[in-house]
Amino acid sequence: MPSPPPLLRKQLKIALIQLASGADKSHNLAHARSKILEASKAGAKLIVLPECFNSPYGTQYFPKYAEILSTDTPAQSSVASAIRSGGPPSEDQSPSYHMLSKVAAETESYLLGGSIPEYVPKTRKYHNTALFFSPDGELLATHRKVHLFDIDIPGKISFHESEVLSPGNKVTLVDLPEYGKVGVAICYDIRFPELATIAARHGAFLLLYPGAFNLTTGPLHWELQARARAVDNQVYVGLCSPARDMEASYHAWGHSMLVDPYAEVVAQADEKEQIVYAELNNEKMEEVRKSIPLLGQRRFDVYPDVSKGEIKWEDD
Ligand SMILES: NC(=O)CC(=O)C(=O)O
């Protein structure tokens, strides 16, 4: 029997940019651009920016920093297809879209713009939205955070994204033709393993989570969640956080990291601005899948396969 095609078709260098962003959006965009150029010069072909890379993170900031990606959604099936058929937003509507698209083309790299606050005029809703660009600057996909970060840990942290944001409604899997498939979700989404399992069972070699955990949940769960998603699914996992700013209202944990399919942390930042690099290859994934052959041992006669049945691949 012929062996299945590799999940990751050729070696891939990834860069996770743990960006220091502040209140000045133009500065954040220029700074992000300079770090993307730096990562590209270092040989990265897939470059990732953190959650809310163009703004401070906080419900009070989302409306002020929000950008319009498409005036046609949600009549179209997804933001990316609305943009493909209706054209890109203007520079005024989304300076972040234009910066990302141009620098992806300039560096000929895949680029995940971790997330920006998005405003949809038709629905009057705000979303926390990641944008994935191809090496020719085309928007391949968007992911709106599906699980909003609403928590109360007594005496520690109370945060309610749902006061301002509306959730996205789909699983996001992006095809990078030379390499393979990448699952994308945002921050709190990582706590819901179904998204990861669905993406992995549909062929993802890598799960990417731009995210901003904090000084309470970061030490508790950031690495744990990354390694758990990797060990469950025997894939690479990349987390990309903003750098910590103790002057800001929200203190990000930092510690952007790349975890391999054995669930080992292969590269990790501390809390300061830094670019985390790692090389991804198919051999490691094949090795772990051969050594611990979970794929052939599942008991779908005992429990259901979450990757089958009705899965939403498009936003409403
Ligand atoms: N900020 C988030 O969305 C999630 C987070 O901080 C956590 O899950 O902890």
How far away, in angstroms, is 217 Cα from ligand 1 center?
7
How far away, in angstroms, is 84 Cα from ligand 1 center?
31
Which of 42-51, 82-91, 198-207, 246-255 has the weakest average pLDDT? 82-91
Q: Is residue 136 part of a domain?
A: yes
Model pLDDT, residue 3:
76
ipTM score: 0.98
Q: Is residue 258 part of a domain?
A: yes
CB 111 less than 6 A from any atom of ligand 1: no
Instruction: Give the residue numbers marked as catalytic.
Output: 51, 145, 187
Q: Is residue 223 part of a domain?
A: yes
Q: Concatenated DSSP letters for 170-223?
A: --EEEEETTTEEEEE--GGGGG-HHHHHHHHHTTEEEEEEE---BTTHIIIIIH
For a pocket test of ligand 1, which of 57, 187, 256 has the largest count of ligand atoms closer than 8 A to its C-beta?
187
Q: Is residue 6 part of a domain?
A: no
Model pLDDT, residue 190:
98
Model pLDDT, residue 91:
95
Token output for 173: 């899997």
Share of the chain above pLDDT 90, in %: 91
Q: Is residue 256 part of a domain?
A: yes
Q: What is the pLDDT of residues 181-224, one digit of tens each?
A: 999 999 999 999 999 999 999 999 999 999 999 999 999 999 99
For residue 75, pLDDT beyond 70: no
Output the average pLDDT for the chain: 95
Q: What is the pLDDT of residues 225-279, one digit of tens each?
A: 999 999 999 999 999 999 999 999 999 999 999 999 999 999 999 999 999 999 9
- Determine how many CB atoms are found less than 10 A away from the CB of residue 302: 6
What's the CATH code of the domain at 206? Answer: 3.60.110.10
How far away, in angstroms, is 190 Cα from ligand 1 center?
9
Which of 57-61, 76-80, 135-139 has the weakest average pLDDT? 76-80
In the chain, the number of structural domains is 1
Share of the chain above pLDDT 70, in %: 98
Which of 83-92, 102-111, 185-194, 249-258 has the weakest average pLDDT? 83-92
Q: What value, to the nearest 5°, has the Cα angle with vertex 69 and ends 126 and 96?
A: 100
The closest alpha carbon to 141, from 69, 223, 49, belongs to: 69
Q: Is residue 38 part of a domain?
A: yes
Residue pointed to by tokens 């699983």: 171
For residue 74, pLDDT beyond 70: no
For a pocket test of ligand 1, which of 149, 165, 256 has the largest count of ligand atoms closer than 8 A to its C-beta?
149
Model pLDDT, residue 73:
57
CB 99 less than 6 A from any atom of ligand 1: no
**Residues 33, 37, 43, 45, CA torsion sign:** positive
Q: Is residue 306 part of a domain?
A: no
Quick one: pLDDT band at residue 71, thresholds 50, 70, 90? confident
pTM (two decimals): 0.97
Query: Can you tell me the mean pLDDT for 284-311?
Result: 96
Quick one: pLDDT band at residue 76, thresholds 50, 70, 90? low
Q: Is residue 29 part of a domain?
A: yes
Domain boundaries, position 131: 12-293
The answer to whether 124 and 156 are in contact (CB under 8 A) is no
